[in-house]
Amino acid sequence: MIKVALEPTRPEVFADAIRSAGAIVADLQPDVRGLVWTDYWQPALLAKTLDENPQLEWVQLPFAGVDAFAELINRPINFTSAKGAYREPVAEHALALCLALGRKLPERAKASAWGEKFAVSLYESHIVLVGGGGITSELLKLLSPFHTEITVISRSGKPLDGATRTLPFDQLDEWLGKADFLVLAAALTDQTRGLIDSSRLAKMKPSAYLVNIARGAHVVTDDLQKALENGVIAGAALDVTDPEPLPAGHPLWSNDLCLITPHTADTPAQVTRLLALRIAENTKVFASGGNWVGLVDSKLGY
């Protein structure tokens, strides 16, 4: 029977997922060729583990993004991620943030007086979505009742069901000025790091909103802060920040135009359940053959 190691911790739900797929949870020994890695925050320890276990052929990583393991994924090993596994809760959160911004909920939640009447409807708005993966596909479904115009900007530019148009990255600047909502849902790569800086924020409409549920480093934080202070855009909602966590006392915390959630688009409880399903899927592939789910492309970085 196939043996799979579970490191550096052994949550029982993940061990059960391995067993449900017909494999044995084992200590890392020369006859163990599969590894489920449970800690995103210890890439150095994973590197050491791989160095000490050259027999490993498959490694399951815990998150959809694999930027923390960028130095490792070029090794001749099948790396799989949680890519697409958390698409539903993250897309749900993105939709909630769009609605909250349009209804000015960040300001109203802190209000102690009646204030002005204000609302921007999501219905028939133009949404520019950056990223063509599972979160985008799920968000396209959620947005369908709102009759929105949706421009997806992705690496491949391949058409997606529910999108009005899908374009390659080199057309982002052309469409930024047409967005009512700009939603970032892309993997963090060299191409997308610092993607939204002062020059791109300046291309957006003063009435536009920015939503980031992907990686904090997509946005240059100081540039966003200045853009909100100077009315360059109407508001922003961030589930991820750079740095993360955003330090207490940072100006964005007190800015009424900015809504920040503490990386809760997918909560630990949701991640645990959904990652267990992915572990079971890929353990079956490892044991019996088939197509990997969430296979990492080392050239693309995700």
Q: For residue 106, what pLDDT is reported? A: 85
Q: Which whole-number Å values give the CA distances from 300 to 78, 186, 187, 294, 295, in the listed order?
A: 14, 12, 10, 13, 11
Same domain for 46 and 183, yes or no, is no
Same domain for 102 and 246, yes or no, is yes
Domains held by the chain: number: 2
Same domain for 41 and 175, yes or no, is no
Same domain for 72 and 180, yes or no, is no
- On average, the pLDDT of the chain sits at 97
The per-residue pLDDT for range 63-109, each reduced to its tens digit, is: 999 999 999 999 999 999 999 999 999 999 999 999 999 999 988 88
The per-residue pLDDT for range 236-270, each reduced to its tens digit, is: 999 999 999 999 999 999 999 999 999 999 998 89
Task: Kindly tell me if the per-residue pLDDT of 46 is higher than 90.
Answer: yes
Q: Is residue 302 part of a domain?
A: no
On the CB side of 256, how many CA atoms lie within 13 Å of its CA? Answer: 9
Q: For residue 254, what pLDDT is reported? A: 93
If pLDDT is split at 50, 70 and 90, which confidence band does 199 have? very high
CATH number at residue 203: 3.40.50.720
Which residues does residue 302 pair with via DSSP β-bridges, in sequence order?
Answer: none
Q: Which residue has the tokens 């993997």?
A: 187
In the three-class reduction of DSSP (H, G, I as helix; E, B as strand; rest coil), residue 249 is classed as coil
Q: Is residue 76 part of a domain?
A: yes
- Whether cis (ω within 30° of 0) applies to the bond prior to 243 is yes
The residues assigned a catalytic role are 215, 244, 263
Same domain for 23 and 122, yes or no, is no
Provide CB contacts within 8 A for 60, sequence distance 6+: 34, 35, 36, 37, 80, 81, 278, 279, 282, 283
Same domain for 139 and 253, yes or no, is yes
Same domain for 273 and 231, yes or no, is no
Same domain for 94 and 231, yes or no, is yes
**In contact, 57 and 33? CB cutoff 8 Å:** yes
Same domain for 94 and 77, yes or no, is no
Task: Kindly tell me if the per-residue pLDDT of 155 is higher than 90.
Answer: yes
Q: For residue 109, what pLDDT is reported? A: 87
The per-residue pLDDT for range 119-139, each reduced to its tens digit, is: 999 999 999 999 999 999 999
Distance between CA 198 and CA 184 in Å, rounded?
16
Domain that holds residue 132: 87-260
Same domain for 28 and 129, yes or no, is no
Q: Which of 93-97, 145-149, 158-162, 268-272 has the lowest mean pLDDT?
A: 268-272
Q: Is residue 184 part of a domain?
A: yes
Residue 1: count of CB within 10 angstroms of its CB = 7
Q: For residue 110, what pLDDT is reported? A: 84
